[in-house]
Structure 1
Amino acid sequence: MTQIGFTTAAVLWLITGGLAYRAARRRDFTAHRDWMMRNYALTFLAVTARILVPLLLLVQTPFRGAEATGDLATSMIPIGQTLVWIVNLVVVETVIGRRRQAVTRPAAGR
Structure 2
Amino acid sequence: MEIKMNLNQTFNGFKLDATAIKLQSMDSSNIRLPYTGNLPVDADSAYIAFKMMPTQAVAVLVCKCAGKEKRFPLEYTATEIKQVLDAFFFTHDGGTRFDNGLDQFWLGLWTAHYIDWKRTEAA
What TM bracket, shorter-length normalisation? under 0.3
Work out which of the two has the higher radius of gyration on C-alpha atoms and give 1 or 2: 1
- Using CA pairs below 8 Å that are at least 6 residues apart, which structure has the higher relative contact order? 1
* Greater share of residues in helix: 1
- The structure that is strand-richer by fraction is 2
If the length of structure 1 is used for normalisation, what is the TM-score?
A: 0.27
